[in-house]
Amino acid sequence: MRKYLFRRLLQLIPLLIGVSLISFFVMHLAPGDPTALFIDPNVRPEELARVRANWGLDQPVYIQYFVWLKNAVLLDFGRSYTTGQPVISEVAERLPLTLLLMIPSFILTLLITIPVGVISAVRKNSWFDNGFTLFSFAGMAIPTFWLGLMLMLLFSVKLHWFPAVGNIILPLITMTIGSLAGLTRYQRAAMLEILNQDFIRTARAKGLPERIVIFKHALRNALIPIVTILGLSLPDLFGGAFIIETIFAWPGMGRLGVQSIFQRNYPMIMGIVMFSALLIIIGNLLADIGYALVDPRIRYEKK
Amino acid sequence: MGLRRFSILLICSLIFSAPLFAAEMDPDGILRFSLGGEVSVLNPILSTDTASSAVEGAIFTGLVKVNEKLEMVPDLAERWEVSKDGKIWTFYLRKNVKWHDGIIFTAEDVKFTFDSILNPKVNSVRRSDYIIDGKPIQFKVLNKYTVQAILPKPFAPFLIHAGMNIIPKHLLEGKDINTAEFNRKPVGTGPFIFKEWQSGDHVSVVRNQNYYFGKPLLAAINYKIIPDENSQLVALEAGEIDDSGIPPKDYTRMKSVKGIKVFEFDALVYTYLGFNLANPKFADKRVRQALAYATDKNQLVSLIFRGLASPAYAPSAPISWAYSDNVPKYPYNLEKAKKLLKEAKAENLEFTILVNQGNKDREKAAVILQQQYKKVGVKVNVRVMEWSALLKIINAPKDPKDFEAVIIGWSLGLDPDAYSIWHSSQYPKGFNFIKYKNPEVDKLLELGRTTMGKSARKKVYARLWKLIAEDQPYIFLWYPKAVEGVSERVGGLSKPGPAGLFLNIEKVFVRK
Amino acid sequence: MRKNRLAILGFAALCCFILVAIIAPLIAPYNPDEIVESQTLPPSWSHLFGTDDLGRDIFSRSLYGARISLTVGLVAVTIAVLIGTLFGAISGYYGGLIDSIIMRFVDVMLAFPSIFLILAIQVMLTPNIYNVMIVIGLTSWMGVARLVRGEFLRIRELQYVEAAKAIGCSNFRIIFRHILPNAQAPIIVAATLGMAGAILTESALSFLGLGVQPPMASWGNMLMDSQAYMRDAPWMAIIPGILILITVLSLYFVGEGLREKLNVRG
């Protein structure tokens, strides 16, 4: 296990370099121009050209990449084109707000997913199960941004319960519903697998009351997928964060990312992409560890 | 006077003045603004977005400023003189003005500000405002409170550019202005002192007790960042902020909302449909004139703005002192349009209109024009593009440029000088991206900017607009009205006009 | 049983939508781009879904929007499946170094916050319906690749494949005639679910203005304009979303139904 972990962690570096290569080249080779973020059309084109040169954008792309890489290794991700401030400090300033959405969302998701998944599995095909299955499908099919809009329409515009901007509850609910749906199904499937396993059958054969079988034996094992759930949620939470933060004007890292893309704020985009990629890779690692813990057969990668 | 009469008088005056007492000014009042975007930098020589300029307006001041009548009046400069040949401007500065950190403001700060803008290493896009015909303006310090600007040739618009907010030499000299910490923690000479900036959320400033035009009536101003126009309106109605723009569709409703006063005023802006004159489709004047006759400007204004805009006919705005509407107007006439198209052998004209994404008004206009031109047999394709992609196309230094027609707007400066938009030399590098060329117009443009004296210039520009409208290189579409809603608890507003309602921010106050 | 019923329901709904999308020009009461009213009207008999902020009939736009969303979904997922199957097959069949390299590449692609990548690409290019399809296809093939690879790893060990090799069949023949047909099932399921995902992604992109551009109507960009009118014309925001929801849901039901029927593991 330790060897596996170590190998995976080693892979982190080439993965991150791969991500950085693709992002950097996609950004720089694509048409479009960060100086256009000086949105005042009264500015003369020569001025924009000069600023572009000041930012080093006149150099060939591969040289720009190596400069970026050299600094990135030392954790200097350059400065934002819009504010001139270090990318790292801007990301650090906005990250807590995104976490403020992601962490409670994750906790809420856990609190709901696990019991629902377990009960669904135990009472398979009951009204509860079928009802929730329908709900999870619907939850997965709803466009996140539309869900956000509908919640805003209902609670802000019509009912006036919450302000449209600045309040945390609506974005939180939107984010939670989105991740809840898919994960509930996963939990249910995991629980079903466990219930089918030999040791459960043995416990039942032994004549133990059903309640003890479930709570003592099944449940303990059913909680193991938490690690996997954590791993799986991360990329989705991030993806969701970008859109949700934009709709609700939540000033977190996700919205910063979307804005940076529109502004072609290259250093900022690179910083956010790298950070997200890091979190996603770690998330995947956790998910895989989770899988391995649950299913000993997949413990080591086959060659 | 009898006691009884006196008491009645006393009681009456108390009753009638009660509302005044109730509406008493709050000495610790805080004004809550909303910003439509994020503040990028709080440094006037670097920033280009309106959110940053809004906050800078409270923190910094310049040599001159604009008044309600759009005239330039003294600010940090008490008075100024221009030499006979129009090339040397001398500014006599106000004495004993202090920066927010206590240091005295001097002519050195002025020279430093303009020299920094002219420094090519500094990412200031305003640089070319201070370069005339390729030569930079020289700034000289004569003594502690006198500074001179030496221009390569007379240039009437210079006074406006002299209004640039001044930055402190003692804090920025020797530093890299592009990345200085100062841009996050600014120090200025204005009525309010920077307090804090929470990225993406808000910026706040507090009263500068020593402001030279008098202690501001507000204790503090809070700028909240609310990027969505509709959310701003919701916040205004909910009493969370004191000021918001009002989209035309909400105008009637907002007028009847208690506690909010609605102002509408003209802006120095016009929107137009520009044709690429290097494209053979539009080379013939008759084609452009035909399309002008086919444009129902009233329908545009009523559908998009519900009447909160007026049709445009000239490349100037009605509130500009140089405006003249003595121009060919091409009133809506489908028959004339069809006739001209036939004469120009352009009955089967088809072209693409580019429009930038994010500006709903222009997108709607493109779709409406598509429908209108269909009536004269012209097929229009609408292409919505992202703003920077659009700018890249129209600014590309090539000939001909890759577009056919575009709907875009010009935000006019305080000076009517339109040289950079219409002069034939400003192509392909410059703002004359449509390749307009009219030698007489060129002459008039030169004349307009070198003539000093308003009434003389006014005549020049009137003739200029007439010539341009005759050529219809653009079809002028509309002059939008700015509509703003302000909470009734706010007082001390300036007369509604393009300079805004909060012109003299130190005179603004809020009621309890 | 329940699942089966849902799958059939989904299938019926899908067929309905596809049919409607195909005959849209015939049944649309108005031209979707034409301004027919001077104001925003709520749903009524003359305008089933009401009119939008420019006065265009929403029902007609929705019909044409169905064409767009379904087409984009189909083409995007086809691209994704083609690329994914190609990579997965080669990886799974040849194994060894090729497998490692391809799988590393898959890992890198998976490490991207995909929405971000798509947004970035779309912002750089001039968004239009064509590059939306391509970009979504180019960023969602990884799941299929892994799936196909897994199937190939499993199937190639089977006896009949060994037999085929022994006879001397070319690799090409083995891949395409022997293994791939047996790997169909999971690919079909993945394609169905993938189409649902592609439709969701397209609508999110169009909503942000980076997908299908106006005035072409897509359910996503119809929602983009609706945000400003939520108070005055909520139907503008409600209807396109419901349409997306039904379409995607139907695809999910059909996909799950197929999964059960074809006995495919998650």
pLDDT (tens digit per residue) in A119-157: 887 777 788 888 888 888 888 889 988 998 888 888 877
DSSP for C78-122 reads: HHHHHHHHHHHHHHHHH-HHHHHHHHHHHHHHHHS-HHHHHHHHH
Q: Chain B to chain C, count of Cβ pairs less than 8 Å apart? A: 50
Residue C75: predicted pLDDT = 96
Which residue type, as a one-letter code, is found at position C174?
I
Beta bridge partners of B225: B35
ipTM of this complex = 0.86
B206-231 pLDDT, tens digit per residue, is: 999 999 999 999 999 999 998 888 88
Report the alpha-carbon distance of residue B196 to residue B55 in Å, rounded: 12
Q: Does B385 touch chain C (CB under 8 A)?
A: yes
Q: Whole-number mean pLDDT of chain C?
A: 87
- Give the tens place of pLDDT for each residue, A93-102: 898 988 888 8
Q: What is the pTM of this model?
A: 0.84
Residues A88 and A80: their CA atoms lie apart, in Å, by 9
pLDDT at residue A294 tops 70 = no
B492: left (phi over 0), alpha (psi -120 to 50) or beta: left
Q: Decide if C225 touches B, using CB distance below 8 A.
A: yes
Task: Provide mean pLDDT across the span C183-200.
Answer: 90
Question: What's the rounded Cα separation, in Å, for the pair B174 and B117?
Answer: 14
Nearest to A125 by CA among C3, B369, B493: C3
Q: What whole-number distance in Å separates Cα of residue A43 and Cα of residue A65? A: 29
Phi, psi of B206, deg, nearest 5? -125, 165
User: Which residues is B408 bridged to in the sheet?
Assistant: B272
CA–CA gap between residue A256 and residue B40 (Å, rounded): 12
State the pLDDT at residue C215: 81
Q: Which of residues 244-283 of A touch C (CB under 8 A)?
A: 246-247, 257-258, 261-262, 264, 269, 272-273, 276-277, 280-281
Q: Chains near B, with 3+ CB pairs < 8 A?
A: A, C
Q: What is the average pLDDT score of chain A? A: 80
Residue of chain C whose Cα is closest to the Cα of B228: C228
**pLDDT single digits (tens) B450-488:** 888 889 999 999 999 999 999 999 999 999 998 999 999
Encode pLDDT of B180-213 as tens digits.
Answer: 999 999 999 999 999 999 888 899 999 999 999 9
Q: Which residues pair with B62 in a beta bridge?
A: B165
Q: What is the pLDDT of residue C2?
A: 60
Which residue, among B443, B452, B324, B304, has the nearest Cα to B372 in the 3D structure? Answer: B304
Average pLDDT over chain B, rounded to an integer:
89
C213 touches chain B (CB under 8 A): yes
CB-CB neighbours of B210 under 10 Å? 15
B68: phi then psi, degrees, rounded to nearest 5: -60, -30
DSSP A231-282: HHHHHHHHHHHHHHHHHTT--SHHHHHHHHHHHT-HHHHHHHHHHHHHHHHH
Q: Is residue C232 within 8 angstroms of chain A, CB to CB? A: no
Angle at B325 between CA B324 and CA B328, to 5 degrees: 125
Asked whether the beta carbons of residue C225 and residue B386 sit closer than 8 angstroms, the reply is no
**Closest alpha carbon to A87 in A280, A277, A275, A249:** A275
For residue range A241-254, what is the model confidence (pLDDT) as tens digits?
A: 888 888 888 888 88
Encode pLDDT of A257-269 as tens digits.
Answer: 888 888 888 899 9
Compute CA B184 distance to the chain's CA centroid, rounded to the nearest angstrom.
24
Residue B35's DSSP bridge partners are B225
Q: Does B391 touch chain C (CB under 8 A)?
A: no
> For residue A264, which residues of chain B lie inside 8 Å, CB to CB?
388
Which residues are B69's β-sheet partners? none
Antiparallel, parallel or unpaired: β B490-491 and B243-245: unpaired
The model's confidence at residue C32, banded by pLDDT at 50, 70 and 90, is: confident
Contact B371 C213 (CB under 8 A): no
The mean pLDDT of A185-189, rounded to a whole number, is 77
The string of pLDDT tens digits covering residues A36-67 is 666 555 677 777 788 888 888 888 888 889 99
Distance separating alpha carbons of residues B248 and B262, to the nearest angstrom: 12
Q: What are the angstrom distances between the C-alpha of B500 and each of B54, B176, B484, B486?
A: 11, 33, 9, 12
Q: Inter-chain contact C2–A130, Cβ cutoff 8 Å?
A: yes
- Give residue-wise pLDDT tens across range C223-248: 988 888 888 889 999 999 999 999 99
